[in-house]
Amino acid sequence: VTTTGIEWNVHANSAIPTRRLPLRVALLGFGTVGQAVARILVERGDLAGRLELTQVFNRNVGRKRAAWTPDSVGWTDSFEEVLAAAPDVVVEAVGGIDPAHEWVTRALSSGASVVTANKLLMAAHAPELIALAARHAAHIRFEAAVAGGVPIIDAIRSGLAGDDFTRVVGILNGTCNFILSRMTDGETMAAALEQAQRRGYAEADPSSDVDGHDARAKLVLLAGVAFRRHVRTADVPAGSIRPIDAIDFRYARRLGGTIRQISMVELAREGELQAFVGPALVAEASNFARNAGAQNLVMVTGRYGGATTFSGEGAGGHPTAVAIVSDLLALARQDRRVDSLDAPWLPGTIVAPPARPYYLRFVVRDRPGILASITASLAQHDINVDAVLQEPGFPKDHLPFVVTVEACEHTALNAALDEIDAENFHAEPPLVMPVLPGEDHVAPMH
């Protein structure tokens, strides 16, 4: 024990060199998130004994240097210089897969631990990076990559670790939730997206928000943490919120619900997961419907403990930085034993979803027999109609109406929709959304 710090919990027989506190932290990327991380490290004097910001890496770093950081911080635009300084932890707040993948790989190989906010990198490479960290007695933590400041990864691997998980369902993209909440109040999608961009929620390319790719990467990480299975991101079906129209909120309300972008993964059998990302009809009385603005919400269900729900800020520099600094503090507390997060993720397979009820919205050029033709195709595939809704007053050449169907297999629905799609009455492609069950009360075991 020295004045600069307490030794990490040392195992007497370990050959691994002892790290001392404060952990020396190198920050890669000084954008919104990186700056917010630095702010917390600099402003919170109580962290000084545990974490010390020693280096900041950014392209054209001269432009970025911030007067409020201590003089002891080294500024560089050379990753080699970062590695040469042998930091204890590298925080990766650069984003994107390349060159982040190479940098994280080299940091872990050098024995540094890594804290990353990078969902795309982790969704693509988590098993390999977790194994690499374990080989070098290092850790890789990524709380910030999922649901911003909501500590859902820590909850799954620690607070709820006693349960046997069966499902994780959530609202994982703040931009989509913001847009859909605003549309409930009558705003257009374009205006709501512009607001989300202005407030800094949206990704640089907002199509990754609205088309579900951002949420899908986060879902892959939650599946990995909850089920220790890694599925290919591209295998998770992702639906866009783009086709959602004001009329869908009117019909949803008549059905006692509203629309949210939902991400859901369930364990079907060992190694086989059912997953879904996209707009869904949720009950108006559910936590999902009440989740407003850019907030994220995650509900984790286990065989023993039932459903536990977490919510909070899912986007933005400061909430994301809180998750990063919390990961850094966890590393400062952690001994070098490989913990459960570092247990390998085995390959997992995405299988067909369970039977569910669906909301089908058609926009047609009106003529007699359309409803008859749609219901005939549904009947042909043994799909039972639950409700038919048609509001008056729409133009004949652009007539929207909704058919809801009782729980059915996805394959049967797709076969019926293939037939329906082939008809010539469509003014727009049909919109298909699953209907989530009322409040998701899965009773704990007694």
Which are the catalytic amino acids? 218
Contacts with ligand HSE: how many residues (CB under 6 A)? 10
d(CA 28, CA 231): 28
The sign of the dihedral angle between the CA atoms of 238, 244, 248, 252 is positive
In angstroms, what is the minimal distance from the CB of 148 to ligand HSE?
A: 6
CB nearer to ligand HSE: pick between 179 and 275: 179
CB nearer to ligand HSE: pick between 147 and 374: 147
Q: From 40-48, 170-178, 266-274, 387-395, give the range in contact with ligand HSE by CB under 6 A.
A: 170-178
In this structure, which amino acid lies at residue 236?
V
CB nearer to ligand HSE: pick between 170 and 400: 170
Residue carrying structure tokens 């702010």: 39
CB nearer to ligand HSE: pick between 175 and 326: 175
Contact 389, 251 (CB under 8 A): yes
The residue among 307, 284, 302, 40 whose CA lies nearest residue 149 is 40
CB nearer to ligand HSE: pick between 55 and 173: 173
Q: Candidates 203, 248, 313, 327: give the one binding ligand HSE (CB under 6 A).
A: 203
d(CA 193, CA 201): 9
d(CA 292, CA 312): 10
3-state SS class at 56: strand
Q: At what angle do helices 174-184 and 246-254 cross, to 10 degrees?
A: 70
Neighbours of 146 (CB within 10 A): 29
d(CA 355, CA 352): 9
Q: Are strands 89-92 and 113-116 parallel, antiparallel or unpaired?
A: parallel
- Per CB under 6 A, 173 contacts ligand HSE: yes
Q: Candidates 175, 261, 286, 311: give the one binding ligand HSE (CB under 6 A).
A: 175
- Per CB under 6 A, 92 contacts ligand HSE: no
- Per CB under 6 A, 214 contacts ligand HSE: yes
Residue carrying structure tokens 């390999």: 128
Interacting residues with ligand HSE between 310 and 349 (CB under 6 A)? 314-315
Q: Candidates 115, 202, 262, 322: give the one binding ligand HSE (CB under 6 A).
A: 202
- Per CB under 6 A, 174 contacts ligand HSE: yes
Neighbours of 380 (CB within 10 A): 12
Q: From 169-177, 180-188, 348-356, 373-381, give the range in contact with ligand HSE by CB under 6 A.
A: 169-177
d(CA 18, CA 251): 62
Token code pair at residue 350: 């995405």
- Per CB under 6 A, 142 contacts ligand HSE: no
Q: From 167-175, 242-250, 344-352, 433-441, give the range in contact with ligand HSE by CB under 6 A.
A: 167-175
Q: From 196-204, 284-292, 330-338, 405-413, give the range in contact with ligand HSE by CB under 6 A.
A: 196-204
Please compute Rg for the chain using Cα positions: 24
Q: Candidates 92, 143, 163, 209: give the one binding ligand HSE (CB under 6 A).
A: 209
In angstroms, what is the minimal distance from the CB of 320 to ligand HSE?
A: 7
DSSP state letters, 76-99: ES-HHHHHHT--SEEEE---SSTT
In angstroms, what is the minimal distance from the CB of 291 to ligand HSE?
A: 12
- Per CB under 6 A, 163 contacts ligand HSE: no
In angstroms, what is the minimal distance from the CB of 116 to ligand HSE?
A: 13
Q: Using CB under 6 A, list all residues that contact ligand HSE.
A: 173-175, 201-203, 209, 214, 314-315
